[in-house]
Structure 1
């Protein structure tokens, strides 16, 4: 329950959430790791609004100031991990470009020049280009909202469509080799790698698991939080910090059925006498760093003599195995925690096409 007269709540993921009613009748949300943090953000917002500066973008002298003001505004209302992405994009690409360009105003020409520069940026992965242009477009929409020239300027930002690349997955043989290596590992945390192969959970979700998330009677695993290492923007703090927060989207809050052998494995790992509030893979009050699991994963691949791939390949492997077994796409989407089925269809389009070809191949064999 919120304190009297306040719209501040403690979320299930441990974070605090506050909300203020805007002049348009909609709510603005604020997030922080503490009650005090949310209250401070809400106080700053109210003071800014009351002083008639809610639309801070209008008072900016140049383009760089516009983006800096937008970034400051975003810090009050988005998740820390989201803000870090915004900050990196603005600080490394957007603001330096417009500072060099010395533009005093956002125009179709200046925006188009930035888009071209981003697409020609050397050493930048296609996914990073897409991400930066998406963030740039989000900023433009908020900065230029309500302006007559806004639409035509925003239209200059065309987000590149991802190539229809085949997702990297482990073959069934490779999966078996990794599982056997993990089972015989002296490091008990290796059980987490096996868990990912049969649930498709993300690395951050794996690191945030507590013993209380496992329901032995129902045979399910609850996903309600994630762990990420992000830049710490507070003065006097270390460069990065571990953050336990909400999963990627609302659909990521889910329950996943566990195979019998995994339930047995957790019982052998000491489930019966474990503290339900303790993190599974750190055995304490603090979660394990995702980088530690990355190192363990790389070590297992090397011991299993399996070609190196990103940790996310385990998630792709789970989805591909499920498709091979005939599980429908909607169910797979829910198990993966995708925000929509269309994401699942887009990511695994190649695997889906392969599954469609199998009946045709069998049919052709019968006819011949």
Structure 2
């Protein structure tokens, strides 16, 4: 493993630890624990069940993107691969997508490079939807969220300028390197290593193209799955408000904002959102008048319940995939010019 990768993992875990410390540093743990005294276990398990439903639908949507490429996988196999990916992200940040594609290949023999291309496409689409929904949440609750977010940007203005400058320099260097590679492309194609790399990139691009090749009926199903994923995300969060007394008075609007701000926390490079989710969830609830011990309790309850369910089912799925007899290699049929 390269030193840069080791440093990246160390940074992820250190960041998670620092954010958790920041959230809990001045808290009386006994007060936080008191928030759990009247925990409604039925609501907690309902929230977990809703989240698992969203993961299953995500798996079905992933499989739908592979359909135009003439690859087919069952719902359970897609679900197991998806859960393995989520569990992988908890253990090694940002590597879950590789894990899920590898498990799907083990279960179905669908090439990992192709299914990974579909993952890249779905993540790009989800990012666009996230930006739209986050914008709605932010501007509809502008006064509250502006006062929460902007101080962190103004305090670190110089650091942000430095990061943008670094990104610009990296971008220019990247364009320069691509230009050189383009000029020597004929010589590169003669090397086995480059041909293997090129084949891998082709597989990813093929998987990404799957969404653009969906028939009208499948495209409608794709958008339905996407809508259901976000709806289940909302209810997974909102219903959990009623699991503890300190958040039971919150409205659906707060549930929507909580979903988006929590999602922002999950985007940061920490193991499974550890620390970053707790920070954003707690800060969001505080601006809506929730007592700090209850806000921390909710963040701990949501993140811990989701992490345990993901690690449990993801671990079982990995075990099943490794014990299951490998299927025969699949062959693509010629269709739609593929």
Q: TM-score, normalised by structure 2?
A: 0.23
Comparing both structures, which one devotes a greater share of its residues to helix? Answer: 2
Q: Choose between structure 1 and 2 for higher RCO, CA contacts under 8 A separated by at least 6 residues.
A: 2
| Greater Rg over alpha carbons, structure | 1
Q: TM-score, normalised by structure 1?
A: 0.22
Comparing both structures, which one devotes a greater share of its residues to strand? Answer: 1
